[in-house]
């Protein structure tokens, strides 16, 4: 059989697949998407751990449970049983999906070996009654290794030469876990690129897990880390584009599962994408953007079930360069590079709700973060206010609790915190904080965030958001506006989150759709409101955006 290879004379694409996509659509990925891309690109595939239903029940979650079972006997879970479940799930998938008997047998042998090693590691941890951060990382990383072996075998089964690149031992230098700065990420990029190049003309199937991460991958980076791995590889190999393949057509103006009128966004800025992720829309890991944007590599979000759709491009701010008067709609069509495509048409930006200076006419998206609690501390006034704040932040630091939103007066602090982030230390944190004042906790809250580039300049936007909430009968517990130019957030009752999301979306996102469907409106925006400067256009304020004095 003639094997297809990832030819090195073609531009490189780094493509990342989420765990649920690999679990549910393996043939679509290995029999269609990758073979099609290989016709034009050298492809590096980054895999997350398989999930056959939802991420919360997938391999990574099972591995976390196995690690927890050792130190917490009260959980009553048996790690040997969990390893068996993971092994069976991968072997069943291989038996079902791999046609070639030889490839299948080799796959099953490899899966068995990896699971045996995993069980040995868990047994050893139980004997010494310890699961260090590093051990926990190695346990978790097994999920990505298993997934890569599965994807590689399916590629081989489709006559595509492929090699697994395991980044489990990629870091061979010491770093300070409290200071993982850009030097650390630059180091990772070049290490990952070297390891990927070792695959030569084979398709590199790379573990989205890398280690050993100073401080632990879950603590230093958090779940969803494979997006970051893919971004670091893309930067290291100077890829033309990073594609993150999911089960949605791209980034929407709201979670399409919750808001039926949500619209697909063709382009979105990196800051907006990161903000959406921080505030509940798990589209891309928030650390991803910075790594590729600094080297001007665009990210494209694509749908595994709809590969011919364009997806959403998360584009570097490079597109804010002045446009040439000769830029035309036609240049959209024949341009190969997505980045060039964005840069080449003011129409494209205007049609997508951006002005030419990259400010927005409307908010970009709305998102909700569930499972939030509010922690209120009312000072006992035995210290002056700066001492009061210092004491509170020291206590948060002591228990490694991060705060999503904060609102303060001289003697009162309200903080919105993810329940999962504080759950295990809440009693101790409360005890410490009560030395400085009266503490109370309010549960079952959600954070609603409106995200949009330069939203601070949209006069009246907060008023319209809160009016929409009031009309929908949603009361507000906390408000945060102004700390970020791209986010207005408030805390509401969790039970009202869907109603609130739809109410704000319907009120604030509707005008943009009318512009999209009205070519005359775009023409109007193009002509009188833009003045010539040098050889291009510069943006001037439009009636919708009146800069605040
Ligand atoms: N604004 C948004 N745009 C697109 N998807 C969103 C948004 N907010 C939340 N989501 C949800 O994020 C999920 C991401 O897709 P999925 O393919 O399930 O992720 P993964 O690849 O990480 O397994 C979808 O289920 C989608 O409903
Ligand atoms: N498998 C890991 C890392 C990851 O990136 O996941 P996903 O790509 O499926 O979001 C997790 O579950 O967190």
List b or e across 304-337, with b for residues whose CB sees 16 or more CB atoms inside 10 angstroms: beeeeebbbbbbbeebbebbeeebeeebeeeeee
What single-letter DSSP state applies at residue 222? Answer: -
The backbone region for 294, taken as left when phi is positive above 0, alpha when psi lies in -120 to 50, beta otherwise, is alpha
- pLDDT tens digits, 88-97: 999 999 999 9
The backbone region for 367, taken as left when phi is positive above 0, alpha when psi lies in -120 to 50, beta otherwise, is beta
Starting from the edge strand earliest in sequence, which strands make up the sheet with 365-379, in order? 405-408, 412-418, 365-379, 437-451, 487-493, 478-481
Share of the chain above pLDDT 70, in %: 81
Q: Which fold has domain 250-372+447-549?
A: Alpha-Beta Plaits (3.30.70)
Pocket test for ligand 1, best of 15, 230, 255, 446 (most atoms within 8 A of CB): 255
Confidence of residue 327 (pLDDT cuts 50, 70, 90): very low
Domain extents in the chain: 12-247, 250-372+447-549
Count of C-beta atoms within a 10 Å radius of residue 543? 7
Place of tokens 């040439």: 324
**CA pair distance 175, 189, nearest whole angstrom:** 15
Which residue ranges have their beta carbon within 6 Å of ligand 2?
A: 18-19, 48-49, 55, 60, 143, 208, 223-227
Strands (E), 393-522: 405-408, 412-418, 437-451, 478-481, 487-493
CB 170 within 8 A of CB 192: yes
Provide the H-helix boundaries in 372-471. 385-398, 419-422, 426-433, 461-471
The CATH architecture annotation of domain 12-247 reads 3-Layer(aba) Sandwich (3.40)
Q: Which two tokens stand for residue 328?
A: 């035309």
Share of the chain above pLDDT 90, in %: 65
The predicted model gives 391-407 an average pLDDT of 91
Closest ligand to Cα 288: 2
Q: What is the pLDDT of residue 328?
A: 39
29 vs 388: which has the higher pLDDT: 29
**ipTM rounded to 2 decimals:** 0.95
Starting from the edge strand earliest in sequence, which strands make up the sheet with 162-167, in order? 162-167, 203-210, 42-47, 12-17, 241-246, 299-303, 312-314, 267-268
CB 272 within 8 A of CB 286: no
Ligand 1 atom showing the smallest separation from residue 51 Cα = 23
Span from the CA of 314 to the centroid of ligand 1 (angstroms): 15
**Mean pLDDT over all residues of the chain?**
85
Ligand 1 atom showing the smallest separation from residue 245 Cα = 21
Kindly report the protein residue whose alpha carbon is nearest to atom 4 of ligand 2: 224
- pLDDT tens digits, 255-280: 999 999 999 998 888 888 988 988 88
Pocket test for ligand 2, best of 224, 247, 285 (most atoms within 8 A of CB): 224
- pLDDT tens digits, 282-326: 889 989 999 998 888 999 999 999 999 999 999 865 444 333 333
Which phi and psi angles does 381 have, rounded to 5°? 60, 25
């Amino acid at each position: 059989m003639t094997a297809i290879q990832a030819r090195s004379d073609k531009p490189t694409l780094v493509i990342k697949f989420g765990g649920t996509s690999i679990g549910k659509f393996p043939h679509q990925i290995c029999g269609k998407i990758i073979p099609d891309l290989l016709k034009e690109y050298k492809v590096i595939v980054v895999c997350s751990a398989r999930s056959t239903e939802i991420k919360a029940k997938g391999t990574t979650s099972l591995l976390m449970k196995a690690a927890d079972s050792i130190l917490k006997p009260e959980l009553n879970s048996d790690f040997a049983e969990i390893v068996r479940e993971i092994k069976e799930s991968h072997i069943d998938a291989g038996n079902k999906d791999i046609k070639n008997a030889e490839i299948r047998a080799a796959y099953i042998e490899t899966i068995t070996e990896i699971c045996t090693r995993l069980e040995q590691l868990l047994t050893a941890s139980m004997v010494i009654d310890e699961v260090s951060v590093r051990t926990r990382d190695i346990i978790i990383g097994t999920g990505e290794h298993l997934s890569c072996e599965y994807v590689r075998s399916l590629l081989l089964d489709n006559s595509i030469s492929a090699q697994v690149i395991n980044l489990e031992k990629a870091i061979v230098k010491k770093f300070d876990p409290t200071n993982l700065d850009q030097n650390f990420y630059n180091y990772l990029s070049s290490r990952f690129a070297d390891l990927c190049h070792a695959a030569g003309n084979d398709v590199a199937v790379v573990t989205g897990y890398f280690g050993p991460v100073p401080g632990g991958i879950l603590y230093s980076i958090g779940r969803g880390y494979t997006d970051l791995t893919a971004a670091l590889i893309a930067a290291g190999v100077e890829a033309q584009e990073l594609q993150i393949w999911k089960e949605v057509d791209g980034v929407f103006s709201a979670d399409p599962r919750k808001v039926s009128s949500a619209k697909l966004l063709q382009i979105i800025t990196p800051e907006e994408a990161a903000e959406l992720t921080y505030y509940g829309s798990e589209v891309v890991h928030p650390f991803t953007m910075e790594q590729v944007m600094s080297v001007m590599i665009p990210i494209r979000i694509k749908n595994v079930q709809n590969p011919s759709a364009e997806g959403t491009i998360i584009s570097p701010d490079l597109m804010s360069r002045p446009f040439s008067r000769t830029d035309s709609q036609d240049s959209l069509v024949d341009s190969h590079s997505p980045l060039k495509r964005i840069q080449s048409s003011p129409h494209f930006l205007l049609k997508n709700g951006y002005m030419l200076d990259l400010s927005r006419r409307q908010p970009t998206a709305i998102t909700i973060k569930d499972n939030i609690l509010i922690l209120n501390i009312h000072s006992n006034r035995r210290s002056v206010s700066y001492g009061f704040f210092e004491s509170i932040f020291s206590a948060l630091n002591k228990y490694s609790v991060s705060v999503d939103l904060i609102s303060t007066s001289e003697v009162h602090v309200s903080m919105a915190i993810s329940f999962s982030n504080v759950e295990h230390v809440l009693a101790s944190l409360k005890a410490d904080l009560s030395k400085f004042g009266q503490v109370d906790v309010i549960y079952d809250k959600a954070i609603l965030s409106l995200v949009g580039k330069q939203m601070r300049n949209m006069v009246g936007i907060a008023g319209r958001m809160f009016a929409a909430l009031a009309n929908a009968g949603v009361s507000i517990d906390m408000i945060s506006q102004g700390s970020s130019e791209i986010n207005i957030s408030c805390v509401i009752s969790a039970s009202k989150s869907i109603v609130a999301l739809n109410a704000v979306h319907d009120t604030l996102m509707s005008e943009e759709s009318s512009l999209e469907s009205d070519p005359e409106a775009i023409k109007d925006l193009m002509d009188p409101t833009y003045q010539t400067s040098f050889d291009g256009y510069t943006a001037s304020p439009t009636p919708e955006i009146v800069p605040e004095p």
